[in-house]
Chains A and B, each alone.
Chain A
Protein backbone atom coordinates (compact mmCIF):
# COMPACT_ATOMS: atom_id res chain seq x y z
CA UNK A 1 0.00 0.00 0.00
CA UNK A 2 1.12 3.51 0.62
CA UNK A 3 4.55 3.05 2.06
CA UNK A 4 5.60 6.48 0.88
CA UNK A 5 4.69 8.07 4.20
CA UNK A 6 7.23 5.92 6.01
CA UNK A 7 10.23 6.67 3.87
CA UNK A 8 11.20 9.84 5.73
CA UNK A 9 13.81 8.94 8.33
CA UNK A 10 14.55 11.70 10.83
CA UNK A 11 18.21 11.89 11.82
CA UNK A 12 19.19 11.24 15.46
CA UNK A 13 20.99 14.57 15.52
CA UNK A 14 17.75 16.39 14.62
CA UNK A 15 16.14 14.98 17.76
CA UNK A 16 19.14 15.98 19.90
CA UNK A 17 18.87 19.56 18.60
CA UNK A 18 15.13 19.60 19.20
CA UNK A 19 15.69 18.43 22.78
CA UNK A 20 18.33 21.13 23.36
CA UNK A 21 15.99 23.84 22.07
CA UNK A 22 13.18 22.52 24.28
CA UNK A 23 15.50 22.58 27.32
CA UNK A 24 16.54 26.17 26.55
CA UNK A 25 12.88 27.20 26.48
CA UNK A 26 12.19 25.29 29.71
CA UNK A 27 15.01 26.97 31.63
CA UNK A 28 14.13 30.37 30.15
CA UNK A 29 10.55 30.05 31.34
CA UNK A 30 11.78 29.04 34.83
CA UNK A 31 14.16 32.05 34.87
CA UNK A 32 11.53 34.52 33.64
CA UNK A 33 8.92 33.46 36.19
CA UNK A 34 11.54 33.69 38.98
CA UNK A 35 11.72 37.42 38.24
CA UNK A 36 8.06 37.78 39.31
CA UNK A 37 6.99 40.25 36.63
CA UNK A 38 3.31 39.65 37.28
CA UNK A 39 1.20 39.42 34.15
CA UNK A 40 4.32 39.36 31.96
CA UNK A 41 5.58 36.19 33.70
CA UNK A 42 2.26 34.48 33.06
CA UNK A 43 2.24 35.55 29.41
CA UNK A 44 5.89 34.59 28.90
CA UNK A 45 5.43 31.17 30.54
CA UNK A 46 2.40 30.41 28.36
CA UNK A 47 4.05 31.68 25.17
CA UNK A 48 7.14 29.53 25.88
CA UNK A 49 4.88 26.52 26.59
CA UNK A 50 3.07 27.09 23.27
CA UNK A 51 6.35 27.31 21.35
CA UNK A 52 7.56 24.12 23.06
CA UNK A 53 4.37 22.26 22.16
CA UNK A 54 4.60 23.37 18.51
CA UNK A 55 8.18 22.03 18.37
CA UNK A 56 7.11 18.73 19.97
CA UNK A 57 4.20 18.41 17.53
CA UNK A 58 6.28 19.23 14.46
CA UNK A 59 9.41 17.18 15.14
CA UNK A 60 8.75 14.54 17.82
CA UNK A 61 5.22 13.85 16.56
CA UNK A 62 6.34 14.01 12.91
CA UNK A 63 3.70 16.52 11.79
CA UNK A 64 6.35 18.32 9.73
CA UNK A 65 7.13 15.13 7.80
CA UNK A 66 3.72 13.44 7.68
CA UNK A 67 0.83 14.22 5.37
CA UNK A 68 -0.50 17.77 5.78
CA UNK A 69 -3.88 16.29 6.70
CA UNK A 70 -2.70 15.51 10.27
CA UNK A 71 -1.36 19.01 10.83
CA UNK A 72 -4.59 20.54 9.55
CA UNK A 73 -6.67 18.42 11.93
CA UNK A 74 -4.37 19.38 14.81
CA UNK A 75 -4.74 23.07 13.92
CA UNK A 76 -8.51 22.61 13.93
CA UNK A 77 -8.42 21.20 17.48
CA UNK A 78 -6.21 24.06 18.66
CA UNK A 79 -8.63 26.58 17.12
CA UNK A 80 -11.55 24.84 18.81
CA UNK A 81 -9.79 24.97 22.20
CA UNK A 82 -8.83 28.63 21.76
CA UNK A 83 -12.37 29.61 20.81
CA UNK A 84 -13.88 27.75 23.80
CA UNK A 85 -11.37 29.47 26.12
CA UNK A 86 -12.20 32.86 24.58
CA UNK A 87 -15.96 32.39 24.83
CA UNK A 88 -15.61 31.27 28.48
CA UNK A 89 -13.55 34.33 29.37
CA UNK A 90 -15.79 36.73 27.46
CA UNK A 91 -18.55 35.41 29.67
CA UNK A 92 -16.56 35.83 32.91
CA UNK A 93 -15.08 39.23 32.03
CA UNK A 94 -18.35 40.88 30.97
CA UNK A 95 -21.00 39.33 33.18
Chain B
Protein backbone atom coordinates (compact mmCIF):
# COMPACT_ATOMS: atom_id res chain seq x y z
CA UNK B 1 0.00 0.00 0.00
CA UNK B 2 2.82 2.41 0.91
CA UNK B 3 4.59 1.47 -2.32
CA UNK B 4 1.92 3.22 -4.28
CA UNK B 5 3.71 6.19 -5.77
CA UNK B 6 0.97 8.47 -7.04
CA UNK B 7 -0.01 10.40 -3.97
CA UNK B 8 -3.21 12.33 -4.33
CA UNK B 9 -6.07 12.88 -1.92
CA UNK B 10 -6.94 10.25 0.65
CA UNK B 11 -9.09 7.63 -0.95
CA UNK B 12 -10.62 4.42 0.39
CA UNK B 13 -13.12 2.95 -2.06
CA UNK B 14 -13.66 -0.20 -0.08
CA UNK B 15 -14.32 1.78 3.08
CA UNK B 16 -16.80 4.01 1.26
CA UNK B 17 -18.64 1.02 -0.14
CA UNK B 18 -18.69 -0.81 3.19
CA UNK B 19 -20.12 2.32 4.81
CA UNK B 20 -22.86 2.42 2.19
CA UNK B 21 -23.71 -1.23 2.79
CA UNK B 22 -23.92 -0.69 6.55
CA UNK B 23 -26.27 2.24 5.92
CA UNK B 24 -28.34 0.00 3.64
CA UNK B 25 -28.56 -2.59 6.45
CA UNK B 26 -29.99 0.02 8.81
CA UNK B 27 -32.56 0.93 6.14
CA UNK B 28 -33.48 -2.73 5.71
CA UNK B 29 -33.98 -3.08 9.45
CA UNK B 30 -36.13 0.07 9.47
CA UNK B 31 -38.43 -1.24 6.74
CA UNK B 32 -38.18 -4.76 8.17
CA UNK B 33 -39.66 -3.45 11.41
CA UNK B 34 -42.51 -1.85 9.47
CA UNK B 35 -43.11 -5.13 7.61
CA UNK B 36 -43.41 -6.91 10.96
CA UNK B 37 -45.95 -4.31 12.15
CA UNK B 38 -47.89 -4.85 8.93
CA UNK B 39 -47.88 -8.65 9.19
CA UNK B 40 -48.94 -8.69 12.84
CA UNK B 41 -51.87 -6.33 12.17
CA UNK B 42 -52.77 -8.32 9.08
CA UNK B 43 -52.78 -11.49 11.21
CA UNK B 44 -55.01 -9.80 13.80
CA UNK B 45 -57.42 -8.21 11.24
CA UNK B 46 -57.52 -10.56 8.23
CA UNK B 47 -60.99 -9.56 6.93
CA UNK B 48 -60.46 -5.80 7.23
CA UNK B 49 -57.08 -6.04 5.46
CA UNK B 50 -58.68 -8.15 2.74
CA UNK B 51 -61.39 -5.55 2.11
CA UNK B 52 -59.04 -2.57 2.34
CA UNK B 53 -56.43 -4.09 -0.01
CA UNK B 54 -59.08 -4.45 -2.72
CA UNK B 55 -59.34 -0.64 -2.77
CA UNK B 56 -55.79 -0.41 -4.16
CA UNK B 57 -55.24 -0.44 -7.92
CA UNK B 58 -53.08 -3.44 -8.89
CA UNK B 59 -52.51 -1.95 -12.35
CA UNK B 60 -50.88 1.26 -11.11
CA UNK B 61 -48.83 -0.81 -8.64
CA UNK B 62 -47.61 -3.09 -11.41
CA UNK B 63 -46.73 -0.12 -13.65
CA UNK B 64 -44.69 1.41 -10.82
CA UNK B 65 -42.94 -1.93 -10.21
CA UNK B 66 -41.92 -2.14 -13.86
CA UNK B 67 -40.72 1.50 -13.78
CA UNK B 68 -38.53 0.87 -10.74
CA UNK B 69 -37.09 -2.36 -12.16
CA UNK B 70 -36.17 -0.65 -15.44
CA UNK B 71 -34.62 2.30 -13.57
CA UNK B 72 -32.60 -0.14 -11.48
CA UNK B 73 -31.26 -1.63 -14.70
CA UNK B 74 -30.33 1.76 -16.18
CA UNK B 75 -28.38 2.85 -13.07
CA UNK B 76 -26.61 -0.55 -12.99
CA UNK B 77 -25.69 -0.05 -16.66
CA UNK B 78 -24.35 3.44 -15.83
CA UNK B 79 -21.57 1.76 -13.81
CA UNK B 80 -20.66 -0.46 -16.76
CA UNK B 81 -20.54 2.54 -19.08
CA UNK B 82 -18.33 4.61 -16.76
CA UNK B 83 -15.99 1.61 -16.51
CA UNK B 84 -15.90 1.56 -20.32
CA UNK B 85 -15.06 5.32 -20.23
CA UNK B 86 -18.29 6.25 -21.97
CA UNK B 87 -19.15 9.48 -20.16
CA UNK B 88 -22.02 10.47 -22.46
CA UNK B 89 -23.82 7.14 -22.11
CA UNK B 90 -23.30 7.24 -18.33
CA UNK B 91 -25.03 10.62 -18.17
CA UNK B 92 -27.85 9.42 -20.43
CA UNK B 93 -28.43 6.28 -18.33
CA UNK B 94 -28.43 8.28 -15.09
CA UNK B 95 -30.79 10.82 -16.66
CA UNK B 96 -33.16 8.01 -17.68
CA UNK B 97 -33.06 6.70 -14.10
CA UNK B 98 -34.05 10.10 -12.72
CA UNK B 99 -36.75 10.48 -15.38
CA UNK B 100 -38.25 7.10 -14.44
CA UNK B 101 -38.14 8.09 -10.77
CA UNK B 102 -40.12 11.22 -11.61
CA UNK B 103 -42.67 9.13 -13.56
CA UNK B 104 -42.97 6.85 -10.50
CA UNK B 105 -43.68 9.87 -8.30
CA UNK B 106 -46.27 11.25 -10.76
CA UNK B 107 -48.08 7.87 -10.62
CA UNK B 108 -47.86 7.94 -6.84
CA UNK B 109 -49.31 11.47 -6.86
CA UNK B 110 -52.32 10.40 -8.91
CA UNK B 111 -52.77 7.29 -6.78
CA UNK B 112 -52.71 9.22 -3.51
CA UNK B 113 -54.90 12.10 -4.74
CA UNK B 114 -57.37 9.50 -6.05
CA UNK B 115 -57.55 7.91 -2.60
CA UNK B 116 -57.76 11.25 -0.85
CA UNK B 117 -60.58 12.47 -3.14
CA UNK B 118 -62.50 9.31 -2.19
CA UNK B 119 -62.10 10.38 1.41
CA UNK B 120 -59.54 7.72 2.29
CA UNK B 121 -56.72 9.36 4.22
CA UNK B 122 -55.58 9.27 7.85
CA UNK B 123 -58.11 11.06 10.03
CA UNK B 124 -60.83 11.27 7.36
CA UNK B 125 -64.57 10.97 8.12
CA UNK B 126 -64.97 7.83 6.00
CA UNK B 127 -62.07 6.04 7.69
CA UNK B 128 -63.45 6.95 11.12
CA UNK B 129 -66.60 5.04 10.26
CA UNK B 130 -64.58 2.03 9.07
CA UNK B 131 -63.30 -0.81 11.19
CA UNK B 132 -60.09 -0.62 13.21
CA UNK B 133 -58.37 -2.96 10.73
CA UNK B 134 -59.13 -0.76 7.73
CA UNK B 135 -57.84 2.31 9.55
CA UNK B 136 -54.64 0.36 10.30
CA UNK B 137 -54.28 -0.82 6.70
CA UNK B 138 -54.54 2.66 5.23
CA UNK B 139 -52.40 4.13 8.00
CA UNK B 140 -49.66 1.64 7.16
CA UNK B 141 -50.22 2.15 3.42
CA UNK B 142 -49.65 5.90 3.68
CA UNK B 143 -46.78 5.58 6.15
CA UNK B 144 -44.87 2.85 4.30
CA UNK B 145 -45.38 4.00 0.70
CA UNK B 146 -44.80 7.57 1.91
CA UNK B 147 -41.50 6.67 3.55
CA UNK B 148 -40.56 4.79 0.39
CA UNK B 149 -41.49 7.82 -1.75
CA UNK B 150 -39.26 9.95 0.50
CA UNK B 151 -36.41 7.56 -0.36
CA UNK B 152 -37.18 8.03 -4.05
CA UNK B 153 -36.85 11.82 -3.66
CA UNK B 154 -33.54 11.42 -1.77
CA UNK B 155 -32.35 8.97 -4.45
CA UNK B 156 -33.13 11.48 -7.22
CA UNK B 157 -31.11 14.12 -5.34
CA UNK B 158 -28.21 11.71 -4.80
CA UNK B 159 -28.11 10.51 -8.41
CA UNK B 160 -28.52 14.10 -9.65
CA UNK B 161 -25.52 15.15 -7.57
CA UNK B 162 -23.40 12.27 -8.90
CA UNK B 163 -24.49 13.18 -12.46
CA UNK B 164 -23.00 16.60 -11.88
CA UNK B 165 -19.77 14.96 -10.62
CA UNK B 166 -19.65 12.82 -13.76
CA UNK B 167 -20.20 15.91 -15.88
CA UNK B 168 -17.31 17.76 -14.20
CA UNK B 169 -15.08 14.65 -14.47
CA UNK B 170 -14.86 14.30 -10.69
CA UNK B 171 -16.21 10.80 -11.25
CA UNK B 172 -14.21 8.93 -13.90
CA UNK B 173 -13.53 5.41 -15.14
CA UNK B 174 -10.92 4.86 -12.39
CA UNK B 175 -12.71 6.71 -9.58
CA UNK B 176 -16.45 6.10 -9.39
CA UNK B 177 -17.21 4.66 -5.96
CA UNK B 178 -19.77 7.41 -5.30
CA UNK B 179 -21.61 6.38 -8.48
CA UNK B 180 -21.60 2.79 -7.20
CA UNK B 181 -22.94 3.97 -3.85
CA UNK B 182 -25.73 6.02 -5.43
CA UNK B 183 -26.62 2.96 -7.52
CA UNK B 184 -26.64 0.78 -4.38
CA UNK B 185 -28.99 3.27 -2.75
CA UNK B 186 -31.26 3.18 -5.78
CA UNK B 187 -31.33 -0.63 -5.76
CA UNK B 188 -32.28 -0.48 -2.06
CA UNK B 189 -35.30 1.65 -3.02
CA UNK B 190 -36.15 -0.99 -5.64
CA UNK B 191 -35.63 -3.81 -3.12
CA UNK B 192 -38.07 -2.26 -0.64
CA UNK B 193 -40.68 -1.79 -3.37
CA UNK B 194 -40.30 -5.44 -4.39
CA UNK B 195 -41.82 -6.30 -0.98
CA UNK B 196 -44.22 -3.34 -0.65
CA UNK B 197 -45.86 -4.21 -3.97
CA UNK B 198 -47.10 -7.74 -3.13
CA UNK B 199 -47.94 -6.85 0.48
CA UNK B 200 -50.19 -3.90 -0.37
CA UNK B 201 -51.34 -4.42 -3.95
CA UNK B 202 -51.28 -8.15 -4.69
CA UNK B 203 -52.30 -9.97 -1.52
CA UNK B 204 -55.95 -9.24 -0.84
Contacts and interface: CB of A to CB of B under 8 A. Distances in A.
Contact of A6 (B39, B66, B83, B183): B83
Contact of B203 (A41, A56, A80, A84): A41
B204 A36 contact: yes
Given A9-B84, A45-B198, A1 B25 contact: no
6 tightest CB-CB pairs across the interface, nearest first? A45-B198, A33-B202, A19-B73, A81-B32, A60-B76, A9-B83
Given A26-B66, A81-B28, A15 B80 contact: yes
Contact of A49 (B1, B70, B198): B198
A48 B198 CA distance: 9
5 contacts: A1-B14, A45-B198, A56-B191, A81-B29, A92-B40
Given A26-B62, A61-B187, A11 B80 contact: yes
Interface string A32-51: 01101000011001101100
Interface string B1-38: 10010000001111001100100010011001001100
Interface of B: 1, 4, 11-14, 17-18, 21, 25, 28-29, 32, 35-36, 39-40, 43-44, 58, 62, 65-66, 69-70, 72-73, 76-77, 79-80, 83-84, 174, 180, 183-184, 187, 190-191, 194-195, 197-198, 202-204
Contact of A33 (B1, B36, B174, B204): B204
A73 interface: yes
Given A6-B83, A92-B43, 10 more contacts: A1-B12, A15-B80, A19-B69, A33-B203, A36-B204, A56-B191, A70-B18, A84-B32, A88-B40, A89-B39
